[in-house]
Amino acid sequence: MMKSPFLGVCYYPEHWPEHRWIEDAQKMVALGLRQVRIGEFSWSRIEPEPGRFEWNWLDRAIETLGDAGLGVMLGTPTATPPKWLIDAYPEILAYDINGCPRKFGSRRHYCFSSEKYADETLRIVEAIAKRYGDNDYVTAWQTDNEYGCHDTVRSYSPAAKLAFQKWLQARYENVNILNKKWGNVFWSQEYHSFDQVDLPNLTVTEPSPSHLLDFYRFSSDQVVKYNRLQTKIIRQYAPNKTIAHNFMGFTFSFDHFAVANDLDIAGWDSYPIGFLDVGPFSAADKERYLRQGHPDIAGFHHDLYRAVGNGRWSVLEQQPGAVNWAPHNPAPLTGMVRLWSHEAVAHGAQNVNYFRWRQAPFAQEQMHAGLERPDFKPSPAYAEAEQTFLDLEKTHRNNNTPKAKVAIIVSYEAQWVFEAQPQGENWNYVAILFEWYAALRRFGLDVDFVSADMPINGYKIVIVPSLPILTQAQIDRFSNSDALILFGPRTGSKTPTLTIPHTLAPGLLQSLLPIKVARVESFPDFHRIDGDFDGTQVAGHSWLDHVESELSPIVSSTDGGLLYCKDNYYYLTTLPNEMFFAALVATLAQKAGVQTTLLPPDIRLRQRGDLIYAFNYGPEPVDLPTNIAPKSESYILGAQTLEPAGVAAWKIE
Ligand code: GAL
C-alpha cells in the first residue's frame, strides 16, 4: 500500500526577512502541511559570484523548516542562471525562432544544447547535492523548473545547430540516407554533408516537414539528456532520495515519458483557471467554468502524469487563487482549492503543494495569489487548505487507483508530426486527446493514459485518438489485444520520417483493418459532416479521411464513411462532435460490457482505493443522481446535494 497523500507548499525563504522563517514554518505545520518546496530559483543567492558560495542562509532555512517538522523538497536552481554567468558566457542563451538570443531578465533563458551550460549545470548541481545530499531534512529533490515553460524546448542557437548536426549524423550515418528519407530531391534541398544541415527556422516558406520533425525529436532528446545530467549527480550524492520534476499543463513539446524514466516522481503544476483561459475551450465553457476551470482539466493531467510517472506522481504546484499570467485572471470559486486538492488525491496523487506560501509584493508574480497575502494575512485559500487537511484525516486509506477499463493512447511524437504538418489549422492533437478524455469521463468512466510504446493488456476499450506513425510492435500489441480498439483519423498516415506510406494510410494498420485512405480533406470550423449513427444524428468536423474499403461504413455521410469496423477494430475518419462522441462511447462500452453512467455535465466521479469521490464543477448545487448516490449514512465527505465546488466521498457499497 502506498503512503497516504499529504499537503505541502512552495516557499521562497530568500524573499522574506529571516526572522519570518520560523513563524512561517510553524504556521505551515499548524495548517497541516508536511512538505515545503524551496530553492528552485535561488542561484544568485547561493552563488553570488563565480565560485563564491553562500550556503549559510540556505543551511539555516532548511534547518528552520526541517526543525518545524517539514520535509524539504530542494530544487536545483538551473532555470535561472544568474547575470554574472550569462555575461561571462553569453553562448548559454537560448535563441528564439527568429534567430535572436533570448535575453537575461526573466527565467529559462538557457539553451539545452549549450555545452557550457551543461558544465555549469554539473558544477552547481554537484555543489548543492554535495552539501545537502545527506541532509535528513531534505527528503526530495526537484530538477530545474518546468522544462518547456515559456516555449523553451526548441532553441535556434549556434550550439543547437551543431548538436542537431551531430544528432542527425548519429541517426542517419550517411547524408545520402537523410536526403532520401527526407525527400530532399524536392526543391533541390539535397545536402553533401551533415554540417550543411541548418536548423529549420527563417526559411522563406515552410521547411521540409521531415526536417522539422527530426528537429522536434532532437529538441526533446536534449531535454531528456539535460535532465539526466542532473539526476545522475543527485543520485550520486543523495542516493535514497526521491527525485521529481514539475511538468506543465498542456505541454507536449518534449517526451515526458522519456524524461520521467530518470525520475522517481512525475510532478505537475495545476493551474486550472489559467489553463481554461489559454486552452482550447469554447466561449460557453470559458464562461461557465470561469472560476472553476473546465471539469476535466485537472483530471486529464492527473491521469496523464500518473502514466508518465508510472504510477508515482504529485501536484507540485496547485493554484491557490488568481494567477498573474493568463490574459484574464479570475479568482477561484470558494471551495475550488479544496476541490482541486481532493481531486488530485482521488486520482492517486502522492502529495499536493500549494503555490505559493505568500504572495510576493514585488517582481513579475506580485499579482499571483498565495496562501497568505503580502500583508501576512491569510488569503481565502488558507482556510481551504486547512479544511482539506482535516478532510484527509477521514479519507486517509488505500491510495491505490485501480486500473481503469478504458485507456487512451498518448504520443508526444504524434504532436510533433502534426505541428510539422498540420494540413488544417484547427487540427489540435492535444485538444483531440482532451475531448476523448472528457467524453469518457462524462460517462462516469475512469481513464488511464498509456504511452504508445507500452502494453495495453487488461483494458476493455482502447482509444487511439490519432497515431500518425505506427510501428510493427504497436500493431502486434493491437492484434494480440482483446480490447475494442478505436483508431482516430490520420492514424498510420506517415512513415517515421514523415512521408506517405507506400500503401497509403493507415499504413501498417491495414494488416488489421482492410481500409485505404485514398485522399483527405480539412475544413474550417463552420463546416459539418452530418452522419447517422443507428438513428442518432451525429456530425464530424475539421477533417475527413476518404476511405476505400470492402467494408461498409457503420456511420456514413454524403461525403463518405465516418466509421468503419472489423472484428474488434474501429476506424473513425473524422473528428466527432459531442453527439458523435456520446454515441461512440455508449456503443463501445455496451459492446465491451463496460458499465457507464451518464453524469450531470458538471459532475465528475473518481475511484481511489475503496472510495468513490464526486466533484461539482458547476456554479450551482447539483443533486447526485440516485443511481450514483450511496445511502446517506455512507458519506465520508459531503452529501447527496453537492454545493458549487462541493466534494463528496463514500465507501464503495
Ligand atoms: C509555474 C511556475 C512557478 C510560477 C507559477 C505561477 O508555471 O513553475 O514558478 O511561475 O507558474 O503560476
Helix H, strand E, coil C: the string for 33-92 is EEEEEECCCCHHHHCCECCECCCHHHHHHHHHHHHCCCEEEEECCCCCCCHHHHHHCHHH
Q: Give the residue whose CA is nearest to atom 12 of ligand 1.
A: 323
Catalytic residue flag (residue 146) = yes
Asked if residues 273 and 321 have their Cβ atoms less than 8 Å apart, the reply is no
In the set 40, 47, 120, 317, the catalytic residue is: 317
Helix, strand, or coil (residue 647): strand
Residue nearest to atom 10 of ligand 1 (CA): 365
Residue 75 CA, ligand 1 centroid: distance in Å: 13
Please, which residues bridge with residue 651 across strands? Answer: 611
CA-248 nearest atom, ligand 1: 7
pLDDT at res. 2: 38
Alpha-carbon span 122 to 232, nearest angstrom: 10
Q: DSSP class of residue 400?
A: P
The single-letter DSSP state of residue 641 is E
Q: 365: how many CB neighbours lie within 10 A of its CB?
A: 15
Paired sense of beta strands 536-549 and 611-616, if any: unpaired
Q: Give distance in angstroms: CA of 490 to centre of ligand 1.
A: 35
The reported pLDDT for the residue numbered 400 is 82
Q: Of 202, 170, 196, give the one whose Cα is nearest residue 184.
A: 196
pLDDT for 397: 67
Is the Cβ–Cβ distance between 605 and 616 less than 8 Å? no
Choice from 41, 271, 276, 317 to test ligand 1 binding pocket (greatest atom count within 8 A of CB)? 317
Instruction: State the distance from the centre of ligand 1 to the C-alpha of 499, rounded, in angstroms.
Output: 39
CB-based pocket (< 6 A), ligand 1 = 145-146, 149, 246, 269, 271, 317, 323, 325, 355, 365, 368
Q: 10 Å Cβ neighbour count for 393?
A: 9
Those residues whose C-beta lies under 8 Å from the C-beta of residue 651, and which sit 6 or more positions away, are 610, 611, 612, 630, 634, 636
Burial of 474 (0-12, 13-18, 19+ CB in 10 A): buried
Long-range contacts of the stretch 565-570 (C-beta < 8 A, 24+): 566/512, 566/513, 566/514, 567/512, 568/481, 568/482, 568/483, 568/484, 568/485, 569/478, 569/484, 569/485, 569/486, 569/487, 569/512, 569/513, 570/484, 570/485, 570/486, 570/487
In terms of Cβ atoms closer than 10 Å to its own Cβ (0-12, 13-18, 19+), residue 377 is: exposed
**For cell 469518457, what's the residue?**
440
Sheet holding 603-608, edge to edge: 603-608, 611-616, 647-651, 635-637
What is the reported pLDDT for 653? 80
Candidate of 108, 149, 246 to mutate for ligand 1, largest count of ligand atoms within 8 Å of Cβ: 149
Q: How far is CA 36 from CA 11, 209, 239, 355, in A?
A: 6, 44, 20, 10
DSSP string across 97-148: TTSPBPPSSSS--B-TT-HHHHHHHHHHHHHHHHHHTT-TTEEEEE-SS-TT
Cα(134) to centroid of ligand 1, in Å?
28
CA of 125 to the centre of ligand 1 (A): 21
Ligand 1 atom at shortest distance from the alpha carbon of 146 = 8
Pairing state of beta strands 569-572 and 560-566?
antiparallel
Q: Tell me which residue has its CA closest to atom 6 in ligand 1.
A: 323
CA 34 to ligand 1 centroid distance, Å = 21
Protein residue closest via CA to atom 11 of ligand 1: 269
CB 624 within 8 A of CB 642: yes
Please give the grid coordinates belonging to residue 626.
440516485
CA 601 – CA 253 distance, rounded (Å): 31
Average confidence (pLDDT) per 10 residues, the chain, 653 residues: 74 98 98 97 98 98 98 98 98 98 98 98 98 98 98 98 98 98 98 98 98 99 99 97 98 98 98 96 97 98 98 97 98 98 96 98 98 98 97 82 96 98 98 98 97 97 98 98 98 98 98 98 98 97 98 96 98 98 98 97 96 97 96 96 98 87
Q: Write the CA distances from 71 to 43, 184, 353, integer angstroms.
A: 21, 55, 12
Rounded to whole angstroms, how far apart are CA atoms 111 and 431?
28
Name residue, grid cell 506517405.
500
Burial letters 62-71, b for 16+ CB under 10 A, else e: bebbbebebb
Asked whether the CA dihedral 89, 94, 97, 100 is positive or negative, the reply is: negative
Residue with CA at minimum distance from ligand 1 atom 9: 145
| Contact status, residue 466 vs residue 489, Cβ threshold 8 Å | yes
Q: Give the Cα separation of 200 and 207 in Å (integer).
A: 6
Dist. CA 381–CA 298, nearest whole Å = 18
CA of 417 relative to ligand 1 center, distance in Å = 28
Question: How far apart are the C-alpha atoms of 566 and 553, rounded to whole Å?
Answer: 10
**246 CA: nearest ligand 1 atom:** 8
Closest Cα to atom 1 of ligand 1: 269
Task: Give the Cα separation of 52 and 45 in Å (integer).
Answer: 10
Ligand 1 midpoint to CA 316 (Å): 10
Find, among 226, 185, 175, 236, the residue nearest to 208 by Cα: 185
**Is residue 402 left, alpha or beta, with left meaning phi > 0 and alpha meaning psi from -120 to 50?**
beta
Ligand 1, closest atom to CA 319?
Answer: 12
Q: Which residues contact 635 (CB under 8 A, 6 or more apart)?
A: 648, 649, 650
Q: Which of 142, 278, 365, 366 to mutate to test the pocket of ligand 1 (most atoms within 8 A of CB)?
A: 365
Domain annotation for the chain: domains and CATH numbers: 6-84+118-152+238-395 (3.20.20.80), 406-592 (3.40.50.880), 603-651 (2.60.40.1180)
Looking at 146, 343, 384, 413, which residue is catalytic?
146
Nearest CA to ligand 1 atom 2: 146
Task: Say if CB 603 and CB 640 are below 8 A apart.
Answer: no
The crossing angle, in degrees rounded to 10, of helices 209-237 and 158-172 is 100
Q: By CB neighbour count within 10 A (0-12 exposed, 13-18 middle, 19+ buried), where does 44 fall?
A: middle
pLDDT of residue 401: 85
174 C-alpha vs ligand 1 centroid, how far in Å? 43
519 has which bridge partners?
546
Closest residue CA from atom 5 of ligand 1: 355
- CA–CA gap between residue 326 and residue 273 (Å, rounded): 9
Atom of ligand 1 nearest to the CA of 149: 7
| Ligand 1 pocket test, candidate residues 276, 316, 355, 358, most atoms within 8 A of CB | 355
Q: What angle do CA 409, 413, 414 make, to 5 degrees?
A: 60
The answer to whether the CB of 485 falls within 8 A of the CB of 491 is no
Which has the closest alpha carbon to 419: 345, 306, 498? 498
Single out the residue of 537, 553, 534 nearest to residue 545, CA to CA: 553
